[in-house]
Amino acid sequence: MRSATGSRAFAQPASTSSFNGRRATSSHSSGHHRHHPNGCGSAPAYAPSPATLPPSYARSGEEEGIPLFAEGKAVHPAAPGYLAVDSGGSGLRVAVGAYDGAPPVEARSGQPVRTGERGIDPAHLLELVLPLARAVAAEAGVDELTTAVIGAAGFATLGDALRAELPDALTRALGVRTVALAADAVTAYIGALGPRPGAVLAAGTGLIAIGTDLTTWRRADGWGHLLGDCGGGAWIGRAGLEAALRAFDGRAGGSGPLLERARERFGQPPELPGLIYPRPDRAAVLASFAPEVAACAPHDPVATGILRAAARHMAESVAAVCPRSGEPEVAWTGGLLKLGEPLLSFLRDELAQQAPHARQTAPQGDPLHGSSRLAAALAAGDAIWPEDPRLLCVSGAHKRAT
């Protein structure tokens, strides 16, 4: 596993993951809850940060053909089940559940999957997923994984290597018979709205909107932090840091409160390029500053303007993909929404203006829930969501119901 280097703001947490009940969680020290004399409040709880996997579960992805329970012991009666994965710009989450309806067991890694010349790196994804999958399968009492669903950020444009290699690799490593690979926006949609037509905004480190009338998919943005993802966590964080640097330079549009936050988090402004540009996870690093923008917004017009612009970009993407006829629903999901009312109040207003025919509704679940829901539907043979060569690919024993 790679460890984070550079600024003290990105130090690894002292403790990693531990299994407790039916969820495995990571302990992160964000350092965001502090008093600020300038009136900015505590930063919300959205703060992507790198983390390591538990050493006791760090088994190599090269161990193919081994029994699923080579380590650990199931704590429930053995049963077949599914693997669900949500891979994003700030890390990934894994869930394993049985088909009996019991709550799945979850675990996470704060390390994002690498993206290189071939796009999303399938070997690195397996390196992160397999140890967690085996550990949570034992915790869930699942001795046979029959279906795997991988929802991945960037899959639509950077997923060719995943499509070519991952289904066979998962079958060899875990024995699964059905593999579905999906854009994280698709799993976000399935988690949020299920089998209903509409549009879903998935906002985390990046941003993408996806809509369907249940015959085809439409997507908007999701082009990555260099070309798009407008309104996402990296976009907000980058805009906040730009405002901080403007204040440092004495240029118009600067924010003194954001400059203070940037100094506390990253050090002196001249150090910023060296801390951010060389990092392969720079999108997550930029997104880690988004909570500081939200914390300053109630007292800083520059921070408020950044969040208002982000909400406008979000609504533009939703309006582009929302079905024009019928009674579509619109929901939003993703870690960025933990920024709360400083962002959500603007988002609701913008959606009402740009997609007035759509009903805003709370999501039923998140992208990991969507991966789990898709896996269960594939196993039952009643998945109704349209397949698409770039957005949702299913291979193996179970195909979409017709």
For 318-355, write each residue's pLDDT tens digit.
999 999 888 899 999 888 989 999 999 999 999 999 99
**DSSP assignment, residue 71?**
S
Tell me: do 94 and 165 sit in the same domain.
Answer: yes
Residue 116 maps to a domain? yes
Range of 319's domain? 198-360
Using only the alpha carbons of the chain, give its radius of gyration: 21
Tell me: do 281 and 212 sit in the same domain.
Answer: yes
The number of folded domains in the chain is 2
Tell me: do 184 and 216 sit in the same domain.
Answer: no
pLDDT given for residue 31 in this prediction = 34
Tell me: do 204 and 350 sit in the same domain.
Answer: yes
Tell me: do 139 and 260 sit in the same domain.
Answer: no
Instruction: Give the closest residue to 338 by CA, choosing from 288, 298, 299.
Output: 288
Residue type, 160: D
Tell me: do 123 and 265 sit in the same domain.
Answer: no
Tell me: do 216 and 339 sit in the same domain.
Answer: yes
In the structure encoding, which two tokens stand for residue 329, read together?
Answer: 């629903």
Instruction: Give the closest residue to 176 by CA, choosing from 80, 94, 92.
Output: 80
In the structure encoding, which two tokens stand for residue 362, read together?
Answer: 């709370």
Residue 306 maps to a domain? yes
Residue 64 maps to a domain? no
Per DSSP, the residues of 23-47 read EEEE----------TTS--PPPS--
Give dist(CA 330, CA 201) in Å, integer: 8
Q: Which SS3 state, helix, strand or coil, does residue 91 take? A: strand
Tell me: do 273 and 207 sit in the same domain.
Answer: yes
Residue 17 maps to a domain? no
The C-alpha torsion from 373 through 375 and 379 to 382, rounded to 10°, is 50
Residue 213 maps to a domain? yes
Longest dimension (CA), the chain: 65
Tell me: do 229 and 298 sit in the same domain.
Answer: yes
pLDDT given for residue 236 in this prediction = 97
Tell me: do 101 and 118 sit in the same domain.
Answer: yes
For residue 115, the cross-strand partners are: 120
Provide the whole-model pTM: 0.72
Tell me: do 86 and 222 sit in the same domain.
Answer: no
Please answer whether residues 318 and 354 qualify as being in contact, where contact means their C-beta atoms are separated by less than 8 angstroms: yes
pLDDT given for residue 257 in this prediction = 96
Averaged confidence pLDDT in the chain: 81
In this prediction, the residues of the chain whose per-residue pLDDT falls under 70 are 1-78, 397-402
**DSSP assignment, residue 270?**
G
Residue 104 maps to a domain? yes
Q: Which residues contact 232 (CB under 8 A, 6 or more apart)?
A: 203, 204, 205, 206, 207, 225, 287, 310, 336
Residue 235 maps to a domain? yes
CATH number at residue 161: 3.30.420.40
Burial readout 311-324 (b: 16 or more C-beta within 10 A, e: otherwise): bbbbbbbbbbbbbe
Tell me: do 158 and 239 sit in the same domain.
Answer: no
- Render pLDDT for 98-117 as a digit per residue (tens, 0 to 9): 988 788 999 999 888 988 88
For residue 207, the cross-strand partners are: 203
pLDDT given for residue 48 in this prediction = 42
Residue 14 maps to a domain? no
